[in-house]
């Protein structure tokens, strides 16, 4: 299977990756007068390598699975929501809905469920990859691991909520047992990451 990207799709992915990294950096930094330029650069790099990667691979997982089912699938950024994310971060609140992968072609409930499931499962796998850095790393590597673990567990839990256009709703419509098997541990780990281990 050849994974192809249109020019517009690459631009949309890049714009969403950078915008989310900027928004999250603004959220992590202290007030405007309380940080230095090197600190800002380091925080952006941290966000780019964690939040950006979590978002990018989540969306690419949707695309790859959709394409495996023979569909045309492309990511489209929502530039209005990217603007909202950055403006919200400036006042200490982040709501990120950067866009989505849209796919064309006939789909069964199972296919739609698996396409939706691919994103949260990818975040769980990424959380496992970041975990050793979080627990055994030091300095900047430990920061990468901690934020990478936290954001991926949060994204997995949030996207598995069975509401509206979120992935969990589609998975639940396809298979309640699969939904429960993924949502319950994702929710538990997400809450642990945010309040027991996380940076927020």
**Which positions are catalytic?**
59
Q: Is 141 in contact with 131 (CB distance < 8 Å)? A: no
Kindly tell me the burial class for residue 30, based on how many C-beta atoms sit within 10 Å of its own C-beta (0-12, 13-18, 19 or more).
exposed
- Residue 118's closest CA among 171, 50, 45, 184? 171
Our CA dihedral for 46, 54, 158, 67, rounded to 10 degrees, sits at: 170
Helices (H), 137-175: 139-159, 167-174
**What single-letter DSSP state applies at residue 164?**
T
Residue found under tokens 């400036």: 90
Strands (E), 18-113: 72-77, 99-104
Q: Is 66 in contact with 31 (CB distance < 8 Å)? A: no
């Amino acid at each position: 299977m050849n994974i192809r990207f249109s020019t517009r799709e690459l631009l949309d992915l890049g714009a969403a990756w950078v915008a989310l990294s900027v928004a999250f950096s603004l959220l992590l930094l202290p007030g405007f007068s309380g940080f230095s330029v090197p600190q800002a650069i380091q925080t952006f790099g941290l966000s780019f390598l964690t939040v950006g990667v979590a978002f990018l691979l989540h969306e690419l997982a949707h695309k790859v699975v959709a394409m495996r089912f023979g569909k045309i699938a492309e990511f489209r950024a929502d530039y209005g929501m990217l603007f909202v994310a950055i403006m919200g971060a400036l006042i200490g609140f982040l709501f990120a809905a950067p866009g989505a992968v849209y796919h064309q072609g006939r789909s069964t409930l199972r296919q739609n469920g698996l396409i939706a499931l691919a994103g949260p499962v990818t975040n769980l796998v990424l959380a496992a990859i970041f975990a050793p850095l979080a627990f055994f790393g030091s300095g900047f590597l430990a920061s990468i691991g901690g934020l990478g673990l936290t954001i991926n567990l949060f994204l997995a839990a949030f996207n598995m909520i069975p509401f509206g256009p979120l992935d969990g709703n589609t998975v639940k419509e396809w298979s309640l047992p699969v939904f429960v098997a993924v949502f319950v541990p994702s929710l538990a780990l997400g809450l642990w990451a945010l309040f027991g281990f996380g940076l927020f």
